[in-house]
Amino acid sequence: MVRYSKGAFRELVRDYDVDIAYTPMILADVFKSSAFARQDYTTNNSDCPVVVQFAAHNPTDFAQAAELVAPYADGIDLNCGCPQKWAYKECIGAYLSERPEAVQDMLHAIKSAVNIPCSIKIRKHPSDMRKTVELVRRAEKMGVDWITVHGRTRHQKSTEPVDYEAIRLVKESVSIPVLANGGIFSISDADTMYYKTAVNGVMSARGLLQNPALFAGYAQTPLTSVEKYVNLALAYGTPFFILHHHLIFMLESVMSSVERKTFNCLSSTPAILDHLLFYYGIKCTL
């Protein structure tokens, strides 16, 4: 989740049965070159296990970024699944899901550079699942510790069905753990994914943004979760736009259209706190 899975949100979802939390996708070349950029990643003793997710297009940047962050992380992930057009043009994200040689080179570099677990997150190939199988088998040979696969291509919309058979094929093609991603918005969705693919774990992104408590069995975000998040965000010094956007996601299912319009126009943290107190009785102070 670009921008959103920062420290406050990671701490929140750990209270609701999330076992492993990932950072937002970080650009390896910027991270390794800029001390200022490195300040964007913060962690603490309760943020465990945390996987730092990098986007990279060459082995040197990836390895150097990983070396810098390894003492403060429990795992490193190479994002080969981001479908955004800008990422593809920069030869990162889903661009790599179609280029097993490049992924192999980067995995070789990171395995030589750090001694903590590493993974890759991929999408199914746009036209030929044999290439996806080739990619994951190469990754396994290079010593990757687990693989996460999103059951859609980079061209597919998030509203389109997830390809369970593609995920199952990945699971059957390697002997290391495989996690599944895509279309997880409830415990029922997670159960269906397990049943149809036999994976070792399930990952959620948009589902957790809308309902951070989904893995604890909640059908929608409980107000106690909203209050927890706001207090954590204030304690962490979370920027206003991130706080605002998180709450837009979390309150989407309970807001009326009129309230949504009002909330979307709020422009300061005090205004958000006043709104939460008025509408929901949630008391938070700066």
> How many other C-beta atoms are found inside a 10 Å radius of the C-beta of residue 1?
16
Residue 1 has pLDDT above 80, yes or no: no
Which one of 3.30.70.890, 1.10.20.10, 3.20.20.70, 3.40.50.920 gives the CATH number of domain 7-213?
A: 3.20.20.70
121 labelled ligand-binding: yes
183 labelled ligand-binding: yes
Contacts with 121 (C-beta within 8 Å, 6 or more apart), sequence order: 53, 77, 78, 79, 80, 81, 147, 148, 149, 150, 181
DSSP letters spanning 145-185: -EEEEESS-TTS-TTSPP-HHHHHHHHHH-SS-EEEESS--
- On average, the pLDDT of the chain sits at 96
Structure token pair of residue 198: 């036999």
Q: How confident is the model at residue 122 (pLDDT cuts 50, 70, 90)?
A: very high
Handedness of CA 205, 208, 12, 214 (dihedral sign): negative
pTM assigned to the model:
0.95
Q: How confident is the model at residue 3 (pLDDT cuts 50, 70, 90)?
A: confident
Question: Would you list the domain boundaries of the chain?
Answer: 7-213, 223-280
Residue-wise pLDDT for 228-260, tens only, equals 999 999 999 999 999 999 999 999 999 999 999
What are the residue numbers of the active site? 82
Structure token pair of residue 286: 């700066």
171 labelled ligand-binding: no
End-to-end CA distance of the chain: 26
